[in-house]
Amino acid sequence: MIEILFILLINVLLLLIIFRVNPYVYIRNAIKPFDILSSGQELYSLVSLFNPVLVSFGTTQEFSIKENYKFYSELFMDLYEINRKYGAKIHAPWKSLRRSLQKDLSFEKKLKSMTAQALGQMLVMSLFLIIFAASFSIILETWLPRFVWVTLLCLLVLGWVSYLGIYQRMKNGHWKISAQLLKVLVFIEAMAATGLSNTEIIRKSEVSKLNPLSDKEFSRLITQLHQIVDAWQKNGNPIKEVLVELEAEFWFIMELKLEVMTKKLQALQLVCTFLFILPAFFFLVLNTFLSFSGFLIE
């Protein structure tokens, strides 16, 4: 059974090379519906083509979003509906929201590139082990015992699953507060220019749910945001420029958090390699040596 699967794999690779088929394109298209970055890029292209100035002058221009990206999709639709129903000028908040989306996508690209590099290295090591085992079997014209293959594949799969599972938990815990904070910053900045009441904007932004103690890196920024929003609600103090400064500080902190995340992922990759891939390598070498010794005796 293993021999047949290996021969089929070789034939598939040969066909891909002969017909110059790029398997990456097919894999990318297959996972595209699950790729959050792809949804964000499509949203950015859509909002870049839409011109709110034309709508403000009465020009009919339809705007609809097919795929959601974080909170941005809903916020863009809210701006569009406010403009369509009440005629509010949304050019400034639309431009501000698009700028924030651009920075968000740039950040997600860095995170995706960093993760893809780690997974690529683990994939190369895994393929090396599988090719080594298959090549050895072909040379000796005898396949390694089935339990060797099963154990080898189980260790490699466990390494991958462990890395992806822990990475997802780290990502959710690392960016949870930052996502809530960014949503509040962008929402208030965008809606403050639409003419809606301060009280309504603050209520919908859910800024009250932000706790300065929930994240030490964002503690000071969240405290400042609460103070600024309170002053805006009570005294009507200008808020746009201050929010722009807070958003710039937010992205600076995010870059620092990304550096920390990078070190954690490097450590995670090292741990998974030592716990799963290296044991798989030594296990394979040991069984290869035993099989080779038996081959020499025969």
Tokens 């700028």 locate to 99
Q: Give start and end residues of each alpha helix (H) in 50-90.
A: 52-56, 72-86
How many CA atoms, within 13 angstroms, populate the side-chain half-sphere of residue 182?
A: 22
Say yes or no to pLDDT of 264 above 70.
Answer: yes
Contacts of 255 by beta carbon, 8 Å cutoff, 6+ apart: none
3-state secondary structure of 82: helix
> Contact, 284 vs 129, CB < 8 A?
yes
pLDDT band for position 33 (50/70/90)?
A: very low
Least confident span in 54-63, 147-156, 277-286:
54-63
Least confident span in 86-90, 94-98, 105-109, 159-163:
86-90
| Percent of the chain scoring above 70 in pLDDT | 76
Q: Tell me, what's the pLDDT at 9?
A: 52
pLDDT band for position 296 (50/70/90)?
A: very low
Contacts of 201 by beta carbon, 8 Å cutoff, 6+ apart: 187, 188, 191, 192
- Tell me the per-residue pLDDT of 40-63, one tens digit each, with 9 for 90 and over: 888 888 887 776 655 544 445 566
Average pLDDT (56-78) is 69
Contacts of 220 by beta carbon, 8 Å cutoff, 6+ apart: 212
3-state secondary structure of 127: helix
Is 151 within a domain? Answer: yes
Q: Tell me, what's the pLDDT at 292?
A: 60
**Mean pLDDT of all residues belonging to the chain:** 76
pLDDT band for position 199 (50/70/90)?
A: confident
Q: Tell me, what's the pLDDT at 165?
A: 83
> Contact, 219 vs 213, CB < 8 A?
yes
> Contact, 115 vs 167, CB < 8 A?
yes
Write out the residue range of the structural domain in which residue 140 sits: 81-297
Q: Tell me, what's the pLDDT at 1?
A: 47
Is 168 within a domain? Answer: yes
* Pairwise CA distance, residues 215 & 32, whole Å: 32
Say yes or no to pLDDT of 269 above 80.
Answer: yes
Is 172 within a domain? Answer: yes
Say yes or no to pLDDT of 11 above 50.
Answer: no
For residue 182, give the nearest of 72, 36, 294 by alpha carbon.
72
User: For residue 258, what is the enclosing H or E element?
Assistant: helix 240-272
3-state secondary structure of 45: helix
Q: Tell me, what's the pLDDT at 131?
A: 80
**Higher-pLDDT residue of 269, 61:** 269
Is 177 within a domain? Answer: yes
Say yes or no to pLDDT of 31 above 70.
Answer: no
Is 108 within a domain? Answer: yes
pLDDT band for position 24 (50/70/90)?
A: very low
Is 73 within a domain? Answer: no
| Percent of the chain scoring above 90 in pLDDT | 0
Tokens of 193: 């220019």
Q: How many domains does the chain have?
A: 1
* Pairwise CA distance, residues 117 & 219, whole Å: 32
Residue type at 216 in one-letter notation:
K
Q: Tell me, what's the pLDDT at 152?
A: 79
Residue type at 57 in one-letter notation:
F
* Pairwise CA distance, residues 251 & 178, whole Å: 10
Q: Tell me, what's the pLDDT at 39?
A: 81
CA distances from 12 to 21, 134, 183 (A): 11, 16, 47
**Higher-pLDDT residue of 32, 275:** 275
Q: Tell me, what's the pLDDT at 4?
A: 43
Q: How many residues does the chain have?
A: 298
> Contact, 157 vs 16, CB < 8 A?
no
The one-character DSSP state at 105 is H
Is 146 within a domain? Answer: yes
The one-character DSSP state at 271 is H
* Pairwise CA distance, residues 90 & 97, whole Å: 10
Is 258 within a domain? Answer: yes
Q: Tell me, what's the pLDDT at 191?
A: 81
Say yes or no to pLDDT of 183 above 50.
Answer: yes
Torsion, CA 27, CA 28, CA 31, CA 35, rounded to 10: 160
For residue 78, give the nearest of 182, 183, 207 by alpha carbon.
183
Say yes or no to pLDDT of 248 above 80.
Answer: yes
